[in-house]
């Protein structure tokens, strides 16, 4: 999809003013963090597993070329094919080429963020092939012609009434008088409508949570079983995956799997973890005749060896989204591309450019929750800061901001000037704010106080209080 | 013109400021893979004796809405299957994996149970399969595909019944990998196309985060756990 991340400020205003979105986000704010907390409290080893997960991913990235070549060798040995794709366009063409080679008309899809990243559905449609999303959340947003707003719960921005409206508009063959009042009825309707599509599809496309070098396997982790029907029933199974999904062994995959479900949904383990290795074997009664992996780079290898390499450890669990106060306030669509929340604020500028996505790393309070819940300890706030520094160094931030920061830096580097100025300001603001304890608006900070109040300072600066305490304690 | 493959591999080496991984480092990486060294495994299941491990497996499975019936011997399986189908108001009709272990069960004592052997077809309501292992850590079933165990049985029917032998219950996923490796060692089409780790029935929370069972896969997952030991199958106890 075309990024609209440069519209972030306008998107945020729209999100904050959208009552349906705010109700839906209210459900997410409490649910995900609570369930994650409960799950990790039951696993005393969770912190140690995070460290192991980080170590496994770092080891793999340091030898990425070796593991990719080994992975390819094992895919081929089991009868599959690997298609290397430098860009989104190459990946789309590879998928289209496979679909055309078998005369595919209907393609079922399991949920894949990489497929969103390369805008696969639009490309297939343009070429006369019908993609059918089968994950319930993805199906809903496909009917509504909108992108996902969350990397594991794509329709989290909707309430059941919007889903019912989308189903009534799309499923015109069903009784218009039917009741669609609760999630159960909606879920059953989707199951009924999608079942014939699973059976009719010529090609099934899934993503991959992991690729295992040792065996040449791809692993998907799902709860609905749609991914399994997608990859088992059609004649051809295509996996679209980005190349940093690789892990050396099944043992390494097991460690990361222990982290993934708990971090994502707070489950002990997702309902279905499925390893696929090549096409069906001679004698097998089902399974695809062809197995293809489209291995996407799209700017990722350029992050190796630099300040953003740690981002390539990401498991796409969404814990950072679920614990982010900014995401919880504005939702995923505000971020304007495929990856929202803190991981998106770091990854999006890397993949679509800082010119497009410069707002995203600035949309953070640096509260640090994202890093503290990340199952592979990605230093997200530090990397957002790196993007801000680059933005500054490349003169991309607004002139007023830049001159403001320069002025502040000039003063802050001169303590003899800085200390009395801060002390004076603290006293003045403390005195002005004595009555209410807060300011509804501030000169030169109208934008900041638009959405919140500025608490009044106590009337003294930290430096002067510290100096006073030192004096009172006397020389040591 | 270089290929995408060459470009990507060269790009990785350029970014990491080195050439291809040197030979001595390669042998270390090859050893790392061959060793299958286990990382940290949670103590929850690792330290348990056989009885406690099976109890944990059952408790964890039930926690995710899998139902479990424990029977004393193979002979008791048909009666349990018939009881379960009746209790759930399901027709006494099922499609069964063409697996010799399941074929050896004395089904003839239940003539009212209609059994077809093969893969699942769209109309099938109930399937019955064996498994390779039960994993105690999270109440997970490990099933592998093969000529005798088609994968569609695990996903197409509304109800999936799985026979688990007590001796098949292992502690961890890693124990499960070892079983697949042992099973595949030395045979022709060694590694299975599909390994399914199944933990409870199909579910979704995609609408308002309210969990619904039976999104696209089975609405019900029922385990018949046979308490008898089965020689030569499964890991050593303890």
Is the same domain home to B31 and B53? no
Identify the domain boundary among A242, A272, A301. A301
Of A187, A285, A304, the CB nearest to B212: A187
Assess whether B28 and B104 both reside in one domain: no
Q: Average of pLDDT values for B119-132? A: 97
Q: Is residue B236 part of a domain?
A: no
pLDDT classification of B188: cutoffs 50, 70, 90: low
For residues B147 and B172, state if they share a domain: yes
pLDDT in tens, B86-116: 999 999 999 999 999 999 999 998 889 999 9
Please report where in the chains the tokens 């490796």 appear, as a residue: B181
Q: Which residue has the tokens 């609209």?
A: A4
The distance of A42 to chain B (nearest Cα, Å) reads 9
pLDDT category at B233 given cuts 50, 70, 90 is very low
Q: Determine the pLDDT at residue A432.
A: 85
Do the Cβ atoms of B155 and A225 come within 8 Å? yes
Residue B42 maps to a domain: no
- Structure-derived torsion over alpha carbons of residues B109, B110, B116, B118, reported in degrees to the nearest 10: -60
Longest dimension (CA), chain B: 71
**Same domain membership, residue B216 and residue B172:** yes
Q: Averaged over B169-192, what is the pLDDT?
A: 89
Residues of chain B contacting A69 with CB distance shorter than 8 Å: 9
Query: Are A187 and B215 inside 8 Å of each other by CB?
Result: yes
Please tell me which of the candidates B4, B13, B203 has its beta carbon nearest to residue A84: B4
Question: Would you call A64 and B145 a contact, using CB atoms and an 8 Å cutoff?
Answer: no
Judge whether B120 and A228 are in contact, CB under 8 Å: no
Whether residues B184 and B123 fall in one domain: yes
Task: Examine the domain organization and report whether A410 and A268 are in the same domain.
Answer: no
Nearest residue to A358 via CA among A333, A327, A395: A395
Distances (CA, A) of A275 to A206, A244, A324, B34: 12, 17, 32, 19
Measure the CA–CA gap between A404 and A157, rounded to whole angstroms.
Answer: 37
Residue A421 and residue A285 share a domain: no
Q: Nearest CB to B8: which of A86, A191, A229?
A: A86
**Is B29 in Cβ contact with A248 (below 8 Å)?**
yes
Q: Are residues B167 and B218 in the same domain?
A: yes
Nearest CB to A183; choose among B37, B196, B207: B207
- Owning domain of residue A415: 399-473
B157 touches chain A (CB under 8 A): no
pLDDT under 50: residue ranges of chain A: none
Express each pLDDT in A87-138 by its tens digit.
999 999 999 999 999 999 999 999 999 999 999 999 999 999 999 999 999 9
pLDDT above 90 as % of chain B: 87
Residues B29 and B67 in one domain: no
Give the separation between CA A341 and CA A322, rounded to whole angstroms.
8
Where would I find the H helices in A7-151?
8-16, 19-41, 46-62, 64-77, 88-101, 113-117, 120-126, 136-143
User: What end-to-end distance do the CA atoms of chain A give, in Å?
Assistant: 65
Residue A127 within a domain: yes
Query: Is residue B189 very low, low, confident or very high in pLDDT (cuts 50, 70, 90)?
Result: low
Per-residue model confidence (pLDDT) at position B231: 47
Cβ contact, residue pair A229, B119, below 8 Å: no
d(CA A234, CA A131): 13
Domain presence at residue B231: no
Q: Is A313 a domain residue? A: no
Contact A187 B207 (CB under 8 A): yes
Q: Are residues B11 and B54 in the same domain?
A: no
Using the beta-carbon criterion (under 8 Å), do A225 and B197 form an inter-chain contact? Answer: no
Q: Would you call B216 and A226 a contact, using CB atoms and an 8 Å cutoff?
A: yes
Q: Which of B204, B208, B210 sits opposite A223 (nearest CB)?
A: B204
**Structure token digits, residue A436:** 């209410």
Determine the structural domain holding residue B171 and report its residue range.
Answer: 47-226
The CATH number that applies at residue A102 is 3.40.50.10420
pLDDT reported for residue B96: 98
Residues of A in contact with B208 (CB under 8 A): 24, 27, 159-160, 183
For every residue of B53-105, DSSP letters joined together read: HHHHHHHHHHHTT-EEEEESSGGGHHHHHHHHHHHTT--SEEEE---HHHHTS
**How far apart (Å, rounded) are the C-alpha atoms in residues B68 and A386?**
53
Specify whether B21 is located in the same domain as B131. Answer: no
A272 and A411 in a single domain? The answer is: no
Q: Residue range B106-133: average pLDDT?
A: 95
How high is the pLDDT of residue A359?
A: 95
Tell me the per-residue pLDDT of B2-13, one tens digit each, with 9 for 90 and over: 899 999 999 999
Strands A246-247 and A438-439, bridge-based pairing: unpaired
Residue of B nearest to A163 (CA): B207
Q: From chain B, pick out residues whose CB is under 8 angstroms from the CB of A155.
A: 206-207
Q: Which of A262, A283, A301 is the last residue of a domain?
A: A301
Among the partner-chain residues A229, A252, A304, the one whose CB lies closest to the CB of B12 is: A304
CATH number of the domain within which B206 lies = 3.40.50.10420
- Asked if A224's CB is within 8 angstroms of B204's CB, the reply is yes
Give pLDDT, residue B37.
Answer: 95
Put simply, the answer to whether B216 touches A224 (Cβ < 8 Å) is: yes
The reply to whether A350 falls in a domain is no
pTM, two decimals, is 0.93
How many other β-carbons are positioned within 10 Å of the β-carbon of residue B148?
18
Would you say A46 and A245 are in contact if contact means Cβ atoms under 8 Å apart?
A: no
How many domains would you assign to chain B?
2
Helix (H, G, I), strand (E, B) or coil at B196: strand
Last residue of a domain, one of A270, A301, A332: A301
**What span, in angstroms and rounded, lies between the C-alpha atoms of A258 and A268?**
8
Residues B210, B125 share a domain: yes
Q: Residue B238: its pLDDT value, please?
A: 34
């Amino acid at each position: 999809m075309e990024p609209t991340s440069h519209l972030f400020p306008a998107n945020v205003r729209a999100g904050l003013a959208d009552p349906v979105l705010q109700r839906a986000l209210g459900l997410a704010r409490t649910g995900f963090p609570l369930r994650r907390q409960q799950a990790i409290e039951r696993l005393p080893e969770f912190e140690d597993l995070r460290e192991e997960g980080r170590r496994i991913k770092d080891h793999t990235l340091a030898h990425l070329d070796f593991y990719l070549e080994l992975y390819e060798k094992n895919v081929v040995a089991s009868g599959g094919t690997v298609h290397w794709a430098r860009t989104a366009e190459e990946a789309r063409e590879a998928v289209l080429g496979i679909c055309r080679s078998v005369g595919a008309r209907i393609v079922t899809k399991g949920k894949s963020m990489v497929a969103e990243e390369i805008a696969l559905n639009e490309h297939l449609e343009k070429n006369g092939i019908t993609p059918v999303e089968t994950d319930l959340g993805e199906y809903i947003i496909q009917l509504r012609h909108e992108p996902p707003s969350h990397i594991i719960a794509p329709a989290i921005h909707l309430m059941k009434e919007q889903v019912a409206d989308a189903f009534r508009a799309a499923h015109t063959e069903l009784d218009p008088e039917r009741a669609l009042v609760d999630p159960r009825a909606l879920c059953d309707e989707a199951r009924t409508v999608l079942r014939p599509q699973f059976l009719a599809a010529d090609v099934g496309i899934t993503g991959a949570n992991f690729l295992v070098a040792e065996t040449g396997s791809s692993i998907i982790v799902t709860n609905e079983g749609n991914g399994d029907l997608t990859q088992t029933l059609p004649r051809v199974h295509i996996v679209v995956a980005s190349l940093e999904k690789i892990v050396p062994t099944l043992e390494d995959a097991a460690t990361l799997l222990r982290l993934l479900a708990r971090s994502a949904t707070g489950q002990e383990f997702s309902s279905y973890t499925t390893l696929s290795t090549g096409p069906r074997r001679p004698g097998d009664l089902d399974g695809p005749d062809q197995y293809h992996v489209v291995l996407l780079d799209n700017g990722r290898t350029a992050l190796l060896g630099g300040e953003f390499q740690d981002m390539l450890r990401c498991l796409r669990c969404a814990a950072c989204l679920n614990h982010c106060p900014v995401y919880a306030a504005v939702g995923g669509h505000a971020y304007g591309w495929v990856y929202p929340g803190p991981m998106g604020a770091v990854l999006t500028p890397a993949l679509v450019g800082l010119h497009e996505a410069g707002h995203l790393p600035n949309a953070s309070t640096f509260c640090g929750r994202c890093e503290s819940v990340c199952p592979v300890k990605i230093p997200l706030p530090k990397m957002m800061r790196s993007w801000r520094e680059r933005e500054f160094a490349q003169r991309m931030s607004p002139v007023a901001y830049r001159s403001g920061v320069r002025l502040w830096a000039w003063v802050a580097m001169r303590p003899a000037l800085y200390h009395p100025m801060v002390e004076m300001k603290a006293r003045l603001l403390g005195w002005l704010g004595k009555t209410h304890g807060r300011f509804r608006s501030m000169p030169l900070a109208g934008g900041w106080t638009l959405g919140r109040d500025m608490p009044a300072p106590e009337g003294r600066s930290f430096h002067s209080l510290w100096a006073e305490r030192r004096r009172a304690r006397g020389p040591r | 013109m270089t290929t995408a493959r060459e470009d990507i591999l060269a790009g990785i080496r350029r970014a990491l400021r080195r050439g291809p991984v040197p030979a001595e480092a390669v042998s270390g990486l090859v050893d790392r893979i061959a060793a299958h060294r286990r990382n940290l495994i949670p103590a929850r299941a690792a330290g348990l004796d056989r009885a406690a491990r099976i109890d944990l497996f059952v408790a964890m499975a039930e926690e995710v809405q899998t139902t479990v019936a424990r029977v004393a011997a193979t002979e008791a399986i048909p009666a349990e299957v018939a009881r379960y189908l009746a209790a759930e108001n399901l027709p006494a009709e099922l499609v069964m994996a063409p697996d010799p272990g399941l074929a050896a069960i004395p089904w003839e004592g239940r003539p009212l149970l209609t059994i077809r052997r093969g893969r699942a077809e769209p109309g099938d309501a109930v399937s019955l399969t064996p498994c390779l292992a039960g994993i105690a850590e999270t109440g997970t079933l490990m099933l592998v595909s093969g000529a005798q165990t088609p994968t569609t049985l695990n996903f197409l029917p509304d109800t999936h019944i799985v026979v688990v032998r007590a001796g098949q219950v292992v502690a961890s996923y890693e124990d499960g990998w070892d079983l697949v490796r042992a099973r595949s060692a030395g045979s022709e089409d060694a590694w299975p196309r599909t390994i399914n780790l199944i933990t409870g029935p199909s579910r979704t929370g995609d609408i308002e985060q309210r969990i619904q069972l039976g999104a696209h896969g089975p609405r019900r997952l029922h385990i018949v756990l046979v308490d008898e030991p089965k020689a030569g199958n499964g890991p050593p106890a303890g």
